[in-house]
Amino acid sequence: MNILVTGGLGYIGSHTCLALLEEGHSVIVADNLINSKLKTLDNIKKIANKSLDFHQVDVSNEKSLETIFSSFPIDGIIHFAGLKAVGESVEYPLNYYYNNLVSTIVVARMCERYDVKKLIFSSSATVYGDNEAPFFETMSSLKTTNPYGESKAMCERILIDFARSNPSFSVGILRYFNPIGAHESALIGDSPNGIPNNLMPYLTQVAKGKLKRLRIFGDDYPTIDGTGVRDYIHVMDLAAGHVSALYNLKEGIHIYNLGSGKGTSVLELIQAFEKATKINIPYEIVNRRPGDIASCWANTNKANKELKWIPKRDLLTMCRDSWRFERNH
Ligand code: NAD
Ligand code: UD1
């Protein structure tokens, strides 16, 4: 199949491009490099030993994106392009609503205009807000707490209406939990700009000595050890989930949780990291981070069954691969 991957040079997109190339698909990437680097393209080619097409375009610009559709026959689209930093979305909500909503509308329009019947969209566990874990796709109330999360919930609603009006199309909404890890080559991975907000990139920078110590945001949550519980999933397993979705999506609109289905606390993650890398992680307990919830993990039965997708990599592998990537950069 010819697959258009928007945001294909980003963290999850680059690993998914690799998974698609390894399955023998042709990959066309549309990315404006707002949060990625051209070097990632070379690294994907190097690992896969295959070529892929790259177009530096802003996906929210309909005219620019259409040039790709008028030049290549496209069989399916995986739409990763979007802005994803929660704090930044509070500061610049209009940028977030504009980029995330308009790019999704433009992509859906292209599907209609060029009769591309498979569309997969990157959503987030953030749309579950403070519902009680485990989270099921059937939980109907989307409780977002910031413009980033709200933009994802809005895109989901737009795509539901889009799919209803195009009943022969297959539209998949994938709600990711917490992706960590990197390709085992350590050539591609998560490299956020500036000081990281998310736990794993912060932790690996502490391990490297770039940051002094990890700050644990609260140890008084109603969890196993008082620290926040999340569902960490290896980015290569997440990438495989997109390939499974391409193969197994039925007509209509379908929502799937992509997570490991297991909850891990901050302290448990530190212990796993120390075990996997033999590096001691200094930390201190500080106040809770505003907006954080106590626990977030997925029920993944629907994706396991309908997409025939089972994540394979355990927490130690996730920690090992995250560290290898950081060490190499
Ligand atoms: P990322 O920032 O690494 O990748 C996104 C890519 O999209 C980047 O390469 C960026 O340059 C590109 N991009 C952004 N806006 C664009 C536009 N208008 N036109 C063209 N390219 C554009 O992020 P990621 O972690 O790979 O996330 C991919 C998707 O998954 C995002 O939509 C994100 O919201 C969603 N998601 C991510 C996580 C996570 O923890 N990483 C969790 C849940 C959902
Ligand atoms: C974040 C995003 C969320 C996104 C998710 C997956 C925020 C507020 N939310 O959530 O929208 O869907 O990533 O990418 O950014 N922690 C520390 N110290 C740190 C960093 C984090 O103790 O330096 C704790 C947090 O309190 C939390 C856990 O580690 O309990 C995971 O945090 P993080 O990696 O930021 O992910 P989420 O909070 O799940």
Tens digits of per-residue pLDDT, 169-188?
Answer: 999 999 999 999 999 999 99
- How does residue 156 score in pLDDT terms, banded at 50, 70 and 90? very high
At residue 192, the pLDDT reads 80
Q: What amino acid occupies position 288?
A: R
- Indicate whether residue 40 lines ligand 1 (CB < 6 A): no
For residue 217, pLDDT over 80 is answered with: yes
The pair of structure tokens assigned to 136 is 């099921």
Environment class of 205 (CB within 10 Å of its CB; exposed 0-12, middle 13-18, buried 19+): middle
Q: Which atom of ligand 2 approaches the CA of 202 most closely?
A: 23
Q: Which atom of ligand 1 approaches the CA of 40 most closely?
A: 9
Q: What is the pLDDT of residues 304-316, one digit of tens each?
A: 999 999 999 999 9
At residue 130, the pLDDT reads 86
CA distance 122 to 103: 12
For residue 243, pLDDT over 90 is answered with: yes
Contacting residues for 241 by C-beta, under 8 A, at least 6 apart:
174, 256, 258, 303, 307, 309, 311
Place of tokens 């999704």: 104
CA 113 to chain centre: 27
β 76-79/178-180 pair status: unpaired
For residue 291, pLDDT over 90 is answered with: no
- Indicate whether residue 14 lines ligand 1 (CB < 6 A): no
Q: What residues form DSSP beta bridges with 254?
A: 172
At residue 112, the pLDDT reads 97
Please, are residues 4 and 67 in contact by the beta-carbon 8 Å criterion?
Answer: no
The average pLDDT across 117-125 equals 98
Substitution candidate for ligand 1 out of 4, 15, 17, 31 with most atoms within 8 A of CB: 31
The average pLDDT across 4-13 equals 98
- Nearest residue to 127 (alpha-carbon basis) of 136, 117, 115, 118: 136
**What structural domains does the chain harbor?**
2-181+232-260+299-311 (3.40.50.720)
- Nearest ligand to the C-alpha atom of residue 151: 1
Q: How far is the CA of 12 from the centre of ligand 1 (A)?
A: 7
- Nearest residue to 218 (alpha-carbon basis) of 266, 252, 175: 266
pTM of the model: 0.98
Q: How far is the CA of 35 from the centre of ligand 1 (A)?
A: 8
Ligand 2 neighbours by CB, cut-off 6 Å: 86, 124-126, 148-149, 178, 197-199, 202, 214-217, 228, 230, 266, 289, 291-292, 296
CA distance 232 to 269: 9
Please, are residues 44 and 71 in contact by the beta-carbon 8 Å criterion?
Answer: no
Q: Which residues are designated catalytic? A: 148
At residue 329, the pLDDT reads 87
Q: Which atom of ligand 1 approaches the CA of 148 most closely?
A: 34
pLDDT: which is higher, 98 or 142: 98
Supply the residue whose CA is at minimum distance from atom 11 of ligand 2: 126
Q: How far is the CA of 80 from the centre of ligand 1 (A)?
A: 5
